[in-house]
């Protein structure tokens, strides 16, 4: 059985990449890998596509324009873009500050599957404004407020589920474990002392918490602000795999 771990994303080494961005590889699991990317102001990634990999971009902070085939649309914090194999894409930072995002690759990232595309003569549509963020949709069994990011069809295609989770101030999630699913929590916005596996642990923005199967876990928000995370579950979350300690 794999061991649980807390990964400080910003301490990870930079990884070489064809887009020449500040990329850090957080974790690679059997079905999916997760990378963190920082783009400097006015930076733009290489236009490319993948033959095998599906990708999901999730914006953590900043503002940008995402290019997908002939379309262009604004993205900002909480935006996500799902890319099937074959979709030509790139991302531009249009803000005066850095743009940070996560990239989920299914199957795990393979640099040999990055195919650069010459798009100098591509005619793009008008830029579509960013879609207003949807409020979280339901209260989970452990006390988190949850907003799903992938449809059921997308979960079937990728064999993962992704969700935005919020834990209100001074609330503790119920300790629980999973026999089938393994999870990764990425801390989007929060600093404080959380309880993980009944141990007081310092947690801050940029921490990624890996939770293997059969590992009892919970978080406790002891501050006056929301604890905001992105939760990856692989295979997709199932109600009958939520087991109270």
pLDDT 10s digits, 140-192 = 888 889 999 999 999 999 999 999 999 988 888 888 999 999 999 999 987 66
d(CA 36, CA 98): 13
> Which CATH superfamily includes the segment(s) 10-128?
Jelly Rolls (2.60.120.10)
Q: What is the pLDDT of residues 3-42, one digit of tens each?
A: 878 999 999 999 999 888 999 999 999 999 999 999 999 9
Intervals of CATH 2.60.120.10 along the chain: 10-128, 138-244
- Could you tell me which residues come within 8 angstroms of residue 138 by beta carbon, excluding any fewer than 6 positions away? 145, 146
CB atoms within 10 A of CB 156: 10
Fold of 138-244: Jelly Rolls (2.60.120)
What pLDDT, on the 0 to 100 scale, is given for residue 136? 66
Structural contact between residues 15 and 68, judged by C-beta atoms closer than 8 angstroms: no
- Could you tell me which residues come within 8 angstroms of residue 164 by beta carbon, excluding any fewer than 6 positions away? 78, 136, 146, 147, 149, 228, 229, 230, 231
DSSP state, 124?
Answer: P
């Amino acid at each position: 059985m794999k061991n649980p771990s807390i990964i400080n994303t910003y301490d990870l080494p930079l990884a070489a990449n064809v887009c020449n961005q500040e990329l850090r590889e957080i974790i690679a699991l059997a079905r999916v890998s997760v990378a963190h990317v920082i783009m400097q102001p006015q930076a733009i990634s290489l236009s490319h596509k993948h033959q095998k990999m599906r990708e999901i971009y999730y914006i953590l902070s900043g503002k940008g324009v995402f290019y997908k085939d002939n379309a262009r649309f604004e993205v900002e914090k909480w935006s996500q873009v799902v890319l099937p194999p074959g979709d030509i894409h790139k991302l531009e930072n249009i803000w005066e500050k850095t743009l940070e995002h996560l990239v989920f690759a299914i199957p795990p990232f393979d640099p040999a599957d990055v195919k650069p595309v010459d798009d100098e003569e591509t005619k793009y549509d008008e830029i579509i404004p960013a879609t207003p963020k949807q409020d979280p949709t339901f209260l989970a069994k452990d006390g988190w407020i949850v907003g799903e990011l992938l449809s059921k069809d997308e979960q079937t295609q990728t064999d993962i589920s992704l969700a935005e989770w919020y834990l209100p101030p001074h609330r503790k999630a119920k300790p629980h474990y999973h026999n089938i699913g393994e999870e990764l929590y990425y801390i989007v916005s929060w600093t404080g002392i959380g309880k993980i596996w009944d141990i007081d642990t310092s947690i801050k923005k940029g921490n990624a918490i890996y939770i293997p199967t059969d590992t009892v876990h919970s978080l406790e928000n002891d501050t006056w602000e929301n604890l905001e995370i992105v939760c990856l579950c692989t295979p997709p979350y199932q109600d009958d795999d939520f087991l109270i300690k």
